[in-house]
């Protein structure tokens, strides 16, 4: 059962993961649209992850890491 409201540290980690997703995408020289096409997600979903409006699933994180050619740990460390 989710906590309501979410602890501040969780929100901070979500933002950090979003920033890492964005940095990995930019290093791979991909737009949000291109990354979304590679992993089968809409570019708006990529935007929501990068700005911590939504949380990617483990499956999504694996696809992101593969598409950006980075280790999964780099996205979630």
Q: Domains plus CATH for the chain? A: 8-76 (1.10.260.40)
What is the value of pTM for the model shown?
Answer: 0.90
- The secondary element (H helix, E strand) that includes residue 13 is helix 8-27
pLDDT band for position 69 (cuts 50, 70, 90): very high
The count of other CB atoms within 10 Å of the CB of residue 17 is: 20
Rounded Cα gap, residues 40 and 12, in angstroms: 27
Averaged pLDDT for residues 4-29: 94
The model's pLDDT over 44-60, given as tens digits with 9 standing for 90+, comes to 999 999 999 999 999 99
pLDDT (average), residues 68-75: 97
Mean pLDDT of the chain: 95
pLDDT of residue 35: 98
How far is the C-alpha of 7 from the C-alpha of 58, rounded, in Å?
A: 21
């Amino acid at each position: 059962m989710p906590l309501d409201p979410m602890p501040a540290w969780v929100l901070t980690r979500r933002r950090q993961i979003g920033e890492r997703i964005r940095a990995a995408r930019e290093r791979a020289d991909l737009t949000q649209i291109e990354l979304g096409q590679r992993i089968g997600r809409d570019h708006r979903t990529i935007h929501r992850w990068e700005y911590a409006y939504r949380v990617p699933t483990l499956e999504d994180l694996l696809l992101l890491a593969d598409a950006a050619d980075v280790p999964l740990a780099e996205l979630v460390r």
